[in-house]
Amino acid sequence: MRGNIVEQDVDAVVNAANSGLLGGGGVDGAILRAGGAAQLDARRALKDRIGSLPTGQAAWTDAGDMLARWVIHVVGPVWHSREDRSDLLASCYREALRVADELRARTVAFPAVSAGIYGWPMPSAADIAVQTVRTTESEVREVRFVLFSDDAYAEFARALQRQAP
C-alpha cells in the first residue's frame, strides 16, 4: 500500500534501523519521531541490553506513541554492485517475522528495507521482500508493505503480481 508506516494500525511496524538503533533518517527517523519519548527510551534500553544490532538481524521495542504496539528493528545491508548481499536483505524479513511470531503479532507493516539511503535498487528490494515473506513460515496473518513513494509502490505491486501464488 502507498502510505506512511507510522500511521499503520497494526500489531508491529518494522523499522529500517541502523546498527546503533538510536535514530537516523527516512523510516527510522519517522518512527522515532512518531513514537516520541517512549520510543527513544525503549531504544536506549534495547541498546543498553544488546549493544549494536547486526545486519540481517531483528530486535523489538515498544512502539511508544504510535498506533502499533511494537517496533521490530532490522538493519538492512548497504547495496554494493560487486558483492551479493541479498541473503542479508532476505534475513531482515525472515528475522522480523520470527520476532513477530515471538511477540504473537498477527499484523505487520514493512517498509522497503535498504531501498533508501542504503542504495538497494528498488526492483531487487521488492523482489527479495515479496519472495521472502511469501516463503517464510509464520503465524502472521497480514503483512503490509507500506511504501512512501509512487515508484516504490509500483515496484512492490509488480513484484506481488509477478510472484502471485
Active-site amino acid positions: 28
Question: In terms of C-beta density within 10 A (0-12 exposed, 13-18 middle, 19 or more buried), how is residue 67 classed?
Answer: middle
One-letter-per-residue 3-state SS of 97-126: HHHHHHHCCCEEEECCCCCCCCCCCHHHHH
User: How far apart, in whole angstroms, are the C-alpha atoms of residue 59 and residue 74?
Assistant: 7
- Nine-digit cell at 125? 528490494
Is residue 129 within a helix (H) or strand (E), and if so which, with residue range? helix 122-135
